[in-house]
Amino acid sequence: MPKKILFAISDTGGGHRSAALALTEAIRQAAGEDVNCTMVDFLKATQLPGIRNAPAIYNYASSRKVWLYDFFFRLTNDSRRMDRITNLLFPLAASRFEAEIRTVNPDLVVVVHPLLVRAICAARKKGGFRWPVITVVTDLVSFHASWAYAESDLCLAPTEEAARILAQYGVPPEKIIYTGFPVHPKFSTSHSQQQARQALGINPDAFTVLITGGGVGSGKMYDIVKTLEKVCPDKQLLVITGNNKELYQTLSAGRQPGSLTHVYGFVNNMETMMAASDIVVTKAGPGTIMEVLAMRRPLVITQAVGVQETGNIDFVVNHKLGFSCSDPAGIAQIVNRMTQPDAAWAVNSENLHKIPADGAGKIAGLIRERLASLT
Ligand code: UDP
């Protein structure tokens, strides 16, 4: 009988689902048919007003009302407060959690969303289940206190900084393992830029800039696109608007065939998009940052959308892994500078090599070890 893994996620942004998909693929590559993976959006599954709409609320707040998002982040960013919130809210959703869990009947649960760590552990206790809980942290440095919970059996850190912070929050050291970030194996250096451009049907020769804003399509993408079109008209722009339909429509309107700007909605071939590009401009989303680094593309971080992303900028800048520039004119300058014959990309390649390239594989290995120890 194949073993069953349940990923507890929520589609607040694109990063949590991407991490679960990355791990599902890494586990499939390692274990084939011996392990089945299932994903459940447990915030939606609560069916509680407000909480079940978390993906839509995150979408709205992170693209229009970041201050509101930051307010709730700060209000709840405390371990004891999170214990109290869980004690208050979990009973209202306990039966729905249990129904979802019994449907999958997992051997092991992997939590890739901070707001679900306590709730999944509470569901385990209440249902008398015995499966291990593994938390995979998907924020690089400045993260919400709710990621850290001593009742989770293992807490996997994407960076050395994250491992230290988990310990400061009180997770026992023996439960913390620095694995690296779960990047999908499809993000690698094996892609050919020419083939990627051919697959996308875009200009094969133009210097190409990929502009993205996470699953939500947030950040100042409109201003950046308009400035680059004006200041660097010979550059090809691949603009990924994600789930931001309004931005997609605004940027697509009136485009002439043959334009060097290509506008996409939510794409499922981000690796091809990155392979086709010469430089990636993105908000400080941890998933996108780590994917770009895995693809060895130059990186410009435009802004942190939400408090939890602020540390990601420091991470990139302090480790000399890319640029940080929020001003569209400054971004245009960086892009133009990159095309000069003597352009040197300001990346410390030694630091780049220190970033574990196979975080997903390492986590998949730990999960399999845990599964094997259950038999
Ligand atoms: N992504 C995608 N298609 C899109 C936009 C984004 O697959 O059209 C993926 C992207 O590759 C990354 C994730 O969504 O894996 C975004 O995660 P990140 O942590 O960068 O930001 P979030 O969306 O969670 O705020």
- Tell which residue, 184, 79, 195, 198, has the closest CA to residue 138: 184
Q: How far is the CA of 340 from the centre of ligand 1 (A)?
A: 30
Position 345 scores a pLDDT of: 64
Report the SS3 class of residue 110: strand
**pLDDT class of 346 with cuts at 50, 70, 90:** low
User: Same domain for 173 and 235?
Assistant: no
Ligand 1 contacts CB of residue 106 (under 6 A): no
Ligand 1 contacts CB of residue 158 (under 6 A): no
User: Same domain for 216 and 169?
Assistant: no
Asked whether the predicted pLDDT for residue 156 surpasses 80, the reply is: yes
Ligand 1 contacts CB of residue 217 (under 6 A): no
Ligand 1 contacts CB of residue 242 (under 6 A): yes
User: Same domain for 119 and 227?
Assistant: no
Ligand 1 contacts CB of residue 266 (under 6 A): yes
The reply to whether 113 falls in a domain is yes
Position 255 scores a pLDDT of: 84
Per-state percent for the chain, helix, strand, coil, to nearest 5: 50, 15, 35
pTM of the predicted protein model: 0.95
Lateral strand order in the sheet of 133-136 = 35-41, 3-9, 108-111, 133-136, 154-157, 176-178
User: Same domain for 118 and 234?
Assistant: no
Note down the domain range covering 113: 3-182+358-373
User: Same domain for 163 and 116?
Assistant: yes
Spatial separation of the C-alpha atoms in residues 69 and 71, rounded to whole Å: 5
Spatial separation of the C-alpha atoms in residues 167 and 147, rounded to whole Å: 11
Spatial separation of the C-alpha atoms in residues 100 and 42, rounded to whole Å: 8
Q: What is the pLDDT of the chain when averaged over all its residues?
A: 94
- Residue of 62, 248, 274, 288 with the most ligand 1 atoms within 8 Å of its CB, for mutation: 288
Q: Total domain count for the chain? A: 2
- Residue of 10, 18, 60, 283 with the most ligand 1 atoms within 8 Å of its CB, for mutation: 18
The length of the chain in residues reads 375
**pLDDT class of 168 with cuts at 50, 70, 90:** very high
- Residue of 115, 245, 270 with the most ligand 1 atoms within 8 Å of its CB, for mutation: 270
pLDDT digits (tens, 9 = 90+) for 178-187: 999 999 999 9
pLDDT above 70: percentage of residues in the chain: 97
Q: How far is the CA of 1 from the centre of ligand 1 (A)?
A: 34
pLDDT above 90: percentage of residues in the chain: 82
Q: With contact defined as beta carbons under 8 Å apart, do 367 and 108 qualify? A: yes
CATH of the domain at 207: 3.40.50.2000
pLDDT digits (tens, 9 = 90+) for 228-270: 999 999 999 999 999 999 999 999 998 888 899 999 999 999 9
ipTM exceeding 0.85, yes/no: yes
Q: With contact defined as beta carbons under 8 Å apart, do 152 and 118 qualify? A: no
Question: Which residue has the CA at smallest separation from atom 7 of ligand 1?
Answer: 268
Q: What is the CA radius of gyration of the chain?
A: 21
